[in-house]
Amino acid sequence: MTEQTPAKVLPEGRMEKIVSLCRRRGFIFPSSEIYGGLSSCWDYGPLGVELKRNVKEAWWQAMVRERDDMVGLDTSILMHPQVWAASGHLAGFTDPLVECKNCHLRWRSDELKEDRCPSCGGELTESRQFNLMFKTFMGPVEEDASVVYLRPETAQGIFVNFQNVLNTTRKKLPFGIAQIGKAFRNEITTGNFIFRSREFEQMEMEFFVKPGTDGEWFKYWLEQRLNWYLKLGIKKEHLHLREHTQKELAHYARSCSDIEYLFPMGWAELEGVANRGDFDLTQHAKSSGKGLEYFDDETKEHFLPCVIEPSAGVDRSVLAVLCDAYAEEPDPSAPLRTGKEEIRVVLHLHPALAPFKVAVLPLSRRENLVKVAKEVYTDLRQGWMVSYDDAQSIGRRYRRCVTVDFQSLEDKQVTVRDRDSMNQIRIPIAELKNTLAAKLAGEDILVLPPGGKVWKEERT
């Protein structure tokens, strides 16, 4: 299924522009910024937190709520240390590390193009394996017996709960368990904004299937997951699949393909889809001494299921969404305001992901208008993130808006304007919720007939 897409890098400086926009508008700030920041840790601001929640919500909706063969889970970050011995992370979750003998910077040797330090050109040490798990101590005594790890992936929380889920839900194969949560990796080199950080969030799902059917399910999930990004508006030409070579495969994987996105620094992994076989359940059954087999009612057989895992990064998805939505375009209102052409930055975010879905604006601050506008606002915010503003200039900033004007007082109608097309329609207040729901579900409100009637389109 791997498609060959030529490597292409987007215009230079694009990542810097996105980082700067994120900071200016309150999407993403460096962590602990007033103390100079903490390398590779990021805080999501007022707009960023909404965007990130919407990404997770879209994943949960598609993976859990809309499926009969899926359940969700939320497991703890700290787990029994034996989990990581059994899963192979203690011995094998390592990257090859070299250190510069001159400036002492550390690098991943598998990522270096030359055998000298990329920073100062100094000589490098021999490569050694560096474990990426963060270690800490449980309780007040700092001794070997109390060592615990911050989980480097959410998947193991799912495997160790396999029997709990089976016993409590009576799910039959094939079925999946999905989880969203924080993961931590003491990465040797970080960078490219939120692409690679040491604390991040994952959206992982383990799909348990009958051995022998794993190949088909692997293909199925690869396609499903690629379509999820397309449905959220990511451009097709910015996505491709890359199959792992035999040498690249992780210790647990029978096969693996990455969904890659064309980030400003080039093609890079957005999500990995792996066929993990029965590796994890076998390991945990051996290590815990507990029977983790599945009993097939029809064939009366006991066996360990195989597992297909689509594993996506929340932060990488947010970055891909931002990169894809970022546009610099002529500001249509600038000539009217200033008499000059101006370029403005617009984030063409998919309606399902946009932090604010709609802004409610009374045309003036007259008491009777404000009253109706506030009623509309109170009603809409039951279902969506809505902003309200009676400052005069607001129409410039919030392009998808509901305007309450003097005519609204008489005809109980409002003007709704679309952010992207700038088209506007006039609809009854009573139809507002349905119209917005349809728009957010991807329908074009201009062709939607509210109450069976086609509303007249007016160009601004």
List interacting residues with ligand ATP (CB under 6 A): 185, 187, 196-197, 200, 202, 269-272, 311-313, 315-316
Q: Are strands 424-428 and 413-417 parallel, antiparallel or unpaired?
A: antiparallel
Q: Which is nearer to ligand ATP, 59 or 388 (CB)?
A: 59
Least Å distance between CB 269 and ligand ATP?
5
Q: Which is nearer to ligand ATP, 251 or 365 (CB)?
A: 251
Half-sphere exposure of 325 (CA within 13 A, CB side): 24
Least Å distance between CB 194 and ligand ATP?
7
Q: Is 382 exposed, middle or buried (0-12, 13-18, 19+ CB in 10 A)?
A: exposed
Inter-residue long-range contacts of 340-346, CB under 8 Å, 24+ positions, other chains counted: 345/17, 345/21, 346/399
The DSSP code sequence of 305-364 is: PEEEEEEEEHHHHHHHHHHHHEEEEE-TTHHHHHSS--EEEEE---TTT-S--EEEEESS
Q: Which is nearer to ligand ATP, 264 or 362 (CB)?
A: 264
Q: Which is nearer to ligand ATP, 153 or 418 (CB)?
A: 153
Q: Which is nearer to ligand ATP, 171 or 196 (CB)?
A: 196
Q: Which is nearer to ligand ATP, 54 or 197 (CB)?
A: 197
Least Å distance between CB 316 and ligand ATP?
4
Helical segments of 33-93, H only = 46-60, 81-86, 89-92
Position closest to ligand ATP via CB: 313
Q: Are 446 and 423 in contact (CB under 8 A)?
A: yes
Phi and psi torsions of 281, nearest 5°: -65, -35
Amino acid letter for position 404: V
Q: Which is nearer to ligand ATP, 179 or 424 (CB)?
A: 179
Least Å distance between CB 244 and ligand ATP?
9
Query: Both tokens of residue 422?
Result: 């700038």
Least Å distance between CB 211 and ligand ATP?
23
Least Å distance between CB 61 and ligand ATP?
19
Q: Which is nearer to ligand ATP, 200 or 388 (CB)?
A: 200
Amino acid letter for position 142: E
CA 99 to chain centre: 33
CA distance 133 to 2: 31
Q: Which is nearer to ligand ATP, 194 or 386 (CB)?
A: 194
Please give the C-alpha separations between residue 410 and each of 245, 370, 389, 428, in angstroms, as whole numbers. 68, 14, 22, 11
Half-sphere exposure of 122 (CA within 13 A, CB side): 14
CA distance 373 to 53: 27
Phi and psi torsions of 318, nearest 5°: -60, -45
CA distance 359 to 356: 7
Least Å distance between CB 253 and ligand ATP?
9
Q: Which is nearer to ligand ATP, 270 or 401 (CB)?
A: 270
Least Å distance between CB 223 and ligand ATP?
17
Closest CA to 307 of 278, 286, 273, 284: 278
CA distance 95 to 111: 10
How many C-beta atoms surround the C-beta of residue 282 within 10 A?
A: 13
Least Å distance between CB 107 and ligand ATP?
14
Q: Are strands 199-209 and 128-131 parallel, antiparallel or unpaired?
A: unpaired
CA angle 336, 342, 344 (to 5 degrees): 110
Least Å distance between CB 260 and ligand ATP?
9
Q: Which is nearer to ligand ATP, 251 or 366 (CB)?
A: 251
Helix count and strand count (H, E) for the chain = 14, 24
Q: Which is nearer to ligand ATP, 196 or 357 (CB)?
A: 196
